[in-house]
């Protein structure tokens, strides 16, 4: 039986919400091993000059703990 832990992190991107989620996983994977899933909990964006300038996501990552 595996023990799974969940953490919540925020990330952003100038391209898209999908890219922001990828950035979250990429950054977390530098210190968290065995990431299994990512769940996008929330999305938001900042607007500048009438256009979206930055996409933001809050994600929950699940990963397996070493026994």
Asked if 59 and 40 touch (Cβ cutoff 8 Å), the reply is: yes
Domain of 30?
A: 3-65
Query: Which residue is listed with tokens 């256009």?
Result: 51
Q: How confident is the model at residue 2 (pLDDT cuts 50, 70, 90)?
A: confident
Reduced to 3 states, what is the DSSP secondary structure of residue 32? coil
Reduced to 3 states, what is the DSSP secondary structure of residue 34? coil
Rounded Cα distance between 33 and 55, Å, is 26
Mean pLDDT, residues 3-24: 96
Q: What is the pTM of this model?
A: 0.86
- Name the domain count of the chain: 1
What's the CATH code of the domain at 49? 3.30.1660.10
pLDDT in tens, 16-58: 999 999 999 999 999 999 999 999 999 999 999 999 999 999 9
Q: How far is CA 3 from the centre of its chain?
A: 21
Residue 25 has a CB neighbour count (10 Å cut-off) of: 16
């Amino acid at each position: 039986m595996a023990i799974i832990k969940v953490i919540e992190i925020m990330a952003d991107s100038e391209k898209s919400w999908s890219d922001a989620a990828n950035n979250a996983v990429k950054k977390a994977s530098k210190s968290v091993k065995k990431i299994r899933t990512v769940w996008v909990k929330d999305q938001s964006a900042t607007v500048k000059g009438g256009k979206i300038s930055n996409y933001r996501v809050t994600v929950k990552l699940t990963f397996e703990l070493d026994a």
